[in-house]
Amino acid sequence: MPERFTPSGLVTLTSDFGTRDGYVGAMKGVLATLAPDLRVVDVAHDVEPQDVAHGAAVLRTACLWFPPGTVHLAIVDPGVGTERAPIVVRGGRHVFVGPDNGIFDLVVEALGGVDDCRRIDLAGALATVLPKNPSTTFHGRDVFAPAAAAIATGRVAPEDVGPEHRARRLAFAGVREASGWVEGRVTHADRFGNVVTNLQTAHVRAVTGASGRCEAVLPDGRRLPVVRTYGDVAPGEPLALLGSDGFLEIAIREGSARETLALTSGIAIRVESV
């Protein structure tokens, strides 16, 4: 049985809010009001607007490196105000607070899977810290930040925020496999223009042939070698490699694969043995 969550007093913030408006500041204000002794760390606030897959990748990149007991507050929420559930997910001795749209899938999987998932009951144990009339367009401030503060201080246990809930899965989460090939999807591009897929190291190794080599196949039929480093090809040349997070990336040495190859979220990328 998973051990009970013990909060460390540390909260991370991830969003697509940017920093030119006051939205991130408003959430920090709520955290400071409800729990002034919390330590708050900004992970990223320039996630592509409404791009849940990008937010999921950002969380997986950063949140694995925080200590057990951390509460991660993540808001990339194109469904705010709809029937999508506000949730609290516990996994790997971490807690994640945010919308039920798959944003936590990658990081929780990397931490060993979901130990518990709850739908936040606005009239339940959190009622004393939530505003009486939460905004329908800013749950980050009125629902998720108060919930994160209450959990991070131990005022409310994650399993007490509401009923058990079966979370939705992230779009493009599926991977297709067959003898000699595996196919995934582009999830996002980083600021360098490297295009990241949902294919992981194990997927690529499974189709690497006896030669020890494999190739990534783009939608236009172009075949790229899966290499070890960017320096394995000449400047300006395209390549595929396994990035530091263990996901297959399509890149151009000293260039932008996003711009040059026009690879957008959801596009299929296949890896085949050679």
Least-confidence region, from 166-170, 184-188, 192-196? 166-170
Q: Using pLDDT thresholds of 50, 70 and 90, give the confidence band for residue 172.
A: low
Is 28 within a domain?
yes
Q: Does a structural domain hold residue 265?
A: yes
> In this structure, is residue 197 part of a structural domain?
yes
By percentage, how much of the chain surpasses pLDDT 70? 97
Nearest to 141 by CA among 226, 77, 65: 77
Range of the domain at 129: 10-160
pLDDT number for residue 27 = 98
**Tokens at residue 119, please?**
């739908």
pTM of the model: 0.89
Residue 272, pLDDT above cutoff 70? yes
Give domain status of residue 167, yes or no.
no
Question: Which phi-psi region, left, alpha or beta, contains residue 236 (left: φ > 0; alpha: ψ -120 to 50)?
Answer: left
Q: Is residue 132 part of a domain?
A: yes
Tell me, rounded to whole angstroms, the distance of Cα 63 from its chain centroid: 9
Q: Which pLDDT score is estimated for 274?
A: 85
Do 114 and 200 belong to one domain? no
Residue 2, pLDDT > 80, answer no
pLDDT digits (tens, 9 = 90+) for 40-58: 999 999 999 999 989 999 9
Within-domain flag for 169: no
Residue 210 has what pLDDT? 67
Q: What is the mean pLDDT of residues 74-98?
A: 96
- Say if residue 111 is in the same domain as residue 138: yes
Q: CB–CB of 273/180 below 8 Å?
A: yes
